[in-house]
């Protein structure tokens, strides 16, 4: 176990910058998740930590020691991949002990047995030690693959999209299983994924990466509620956050947002007024999460309400999603799963303006982060 520090880490492949000035401190024993779309530089970052790739510039420290000049097998970093990559003709015990028997690692048989038993116990696979991989379920294979990384008692454990190759239903189950295993992993862990639900579920802290650069670091809830920019806001949440371009207007001393098509009028909530007080910004993107929109029935106040027509309605999982055409916008609204709407019928929506996020229309940065 050890603290991991990345300082101004950059990696170029030819003239493509895969990792761009990444600085990050991962505390001893922390479970950190790196979230980003494909091509964001997630896997390259892991490879730099493991030593499989050399950084173009910047430093890597594990337990306070610089790692840049140290060979991968001397770093005490273990990596588990997307595919389980178990040896099909070895039973679980031999798969687990394999990394300890590699040339150059001289562990006594007793020590090997102790570690294998301990990890097997932790991951609840001790009753499977004599089985071959083909006799295991996906969940069990997953645990063996994880066990094989843990048995080396690494300082840092790197997990690269360990469950993303599974289909949606199985992935949901495996996520819950993984969540239950999290407590058993004591190494400083970095988990890489492109799935925001995995990231939200598993992370102590979450790092969002885009085109090699860190966009935001923080607790999952913090990022969900207070995204640093439009990219982070859109990456977290399904359906995606609604974005409405607005101009700021001061009428009768009240600060209001009017959408550029004139169809939506929103009051600026108390907590955001300070950031707009200097009057420098006149165009913003209002970010409204689908769960903060509702279907209005009854009286209509003057603002925080808008009208349009039903574009489409879908029931998905535990909720329904109403997509409404309002002016030039399509707004997604989360509803109870038992609602029904008819396509092209009129509909009025209420907007919980207190939950708004506002972004600079030019830079796409959250106005609270300026």
Q: Is 195 in the site for other proteins (CB under 8 A)?
A: no
Least distance in angstroms from the C-beta of 183 to other proteins: 7
Distance (Å, rounded) from C-alpha 251 to C-alpha 292?
25
Kindly state whether residue 179 participates in binding other proteins, applying the rule CB under 8 A: yes
Q: List Cα–Cα distances, 108 to 112, 114, 115, 119, in angstroms.
A: 6, 10, 11, 17
CA angle 116, 118, 121 (to 5 degrees): 105
Query: In the complex with other proteins, which residue's Cβ is closer, 86 or 334?
Result: 334
Check residue 334 for interaction with other proteins (CB under 8 A): yes
* Stretch binding other proteins (CB under 8 A), from 1-9, 112-120, 122-130, 193-201: 193-201
Complex with other proteins: residue 323 or 366, whichever CB lies closer? 323
Give me the sign of the Cα torsion angle 38, 66, 186, 53: positive
Which residues between 224 and 263 bind other proteins (CB under 8 A)?
A: 224, 236-238
Q: Please tell me whether residue 344 binds other proteins under the rule CB under 8 A.
A: yes
Strands 31-35 and 242-251: unpaired
CA distance 287 to 269: 13
The secondary structure of 158-201 as a DSSP string is EEESTTTTS-HHHHHHHHHHHHHHGGG--SEEEEEES-HHHHHH
- Nearer residue to other proteins within complex by CB, 102 or 312: 312
Rule CB under 8 A: say whether 201 interacts with other proteins. yes
Site for other proteins contains 316 (CB under 8 A): yes
Those residues with Cβ within 8 angstroms of residue 157's Cβ, 6 or more apart along the chain or in another chain: 77, 78, 79, 80, 149, 150, 185, 187, 188, 189, 190
302 binds other proteins (CB under 8 A): no
Q: Which residue has the tokens 């956050």?
A: 241
- Applying CB under 8 A, the site for other proteins has a residue count of 34
- Choice between 126 and 172, CB closer to other proteins: 172
- Output the smallest distance, CB 327 to other proteins, in A: 19
Q: Quick one: 89 or 173, whose CB is closer to other proteins?
A: 173
Q: Quote the tokens at residue 353.
A: 């303006």
Residues of this chain that bind other proteins (CB under 8 A): 172, 175-176, 179-180, 183, 196-197, 200-201, 220-221, 224, 236-238, 289-291, 311-312, 314-319, 323, 334, 337-338, 340, 343-344
């Amino acid at each position: 176990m050890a603290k991991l520090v990345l300082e101004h880490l950059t990696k170029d492949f030819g003239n493509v910058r895969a990792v761009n000035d990444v600085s990050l401190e991962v505390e001893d024993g922390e479970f950190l998740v790196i979230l980003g779309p494909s091509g964001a530089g997630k896997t390259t970052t892991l490879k730099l930590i493991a030593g499989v790739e050399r950084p173009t510039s910047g430093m890597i420290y594990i337990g306070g020691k610089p790692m840049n000049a140290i060979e991968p097998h001397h770093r005490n970093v273990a990596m588990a991949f997307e595919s389980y990559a178990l040896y099909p003709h070895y039973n679980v015990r031999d798969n687990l002990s394999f990394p300890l028997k590699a040339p150059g690692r001289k562990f006594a048989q007793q020590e090997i047995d102790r570690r294998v038993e301990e990890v097997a116990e932790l991951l609840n696979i001790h009753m499977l030690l004599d089985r071959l991989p083909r006799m295991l379920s996906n969940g069990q294979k997953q645990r063996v693959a994880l066990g094989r990384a843990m048995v080396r008692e690494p300082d840092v454990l790197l997990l690269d999209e360990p469950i993303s190759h599974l289909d949606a239903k199985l992935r949901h189950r495996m996520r819950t299983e993984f969540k239950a295993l999290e407590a058993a992993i004591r190494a400083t862990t970095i988990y890489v994924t492109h799935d925001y639900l995995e990231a939200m579920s598993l992370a102590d802290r979450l790092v969002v990466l885009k085109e090699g650069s860190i966009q935001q670091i923080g607790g999952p809830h913090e990022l969900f509620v207070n995204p640093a920019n439009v990219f982070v806001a859109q990456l977290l949440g399904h359906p995606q956050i609604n974005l409405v371009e607005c101009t700021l207007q001061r009428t009768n001393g009240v600060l209001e947002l009017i959408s550029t098509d004139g169809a939506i009028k929103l009051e600026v909530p108390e907590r955001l007024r300070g950031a707009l007080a200097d009057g420098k910004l006149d165009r913003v993107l209002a970010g409204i999460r689908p769960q903060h929109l509702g279907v209005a029935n009854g009286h209509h106040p003057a603002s925080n309400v808008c009208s349009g027509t039903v574009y489409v309605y879908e029931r998905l999982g535990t909720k329904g999603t109403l997509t409404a055409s309002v002016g030039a916008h399509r707004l997604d609204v989360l509803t109870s799963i038992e609602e029904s709407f008819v396509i092209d019928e009129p509909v009025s929506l209420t907007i919980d303006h207190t939950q708004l996020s506002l972004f600079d229309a030019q830079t796409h940065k959250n106005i609270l982060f300026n």
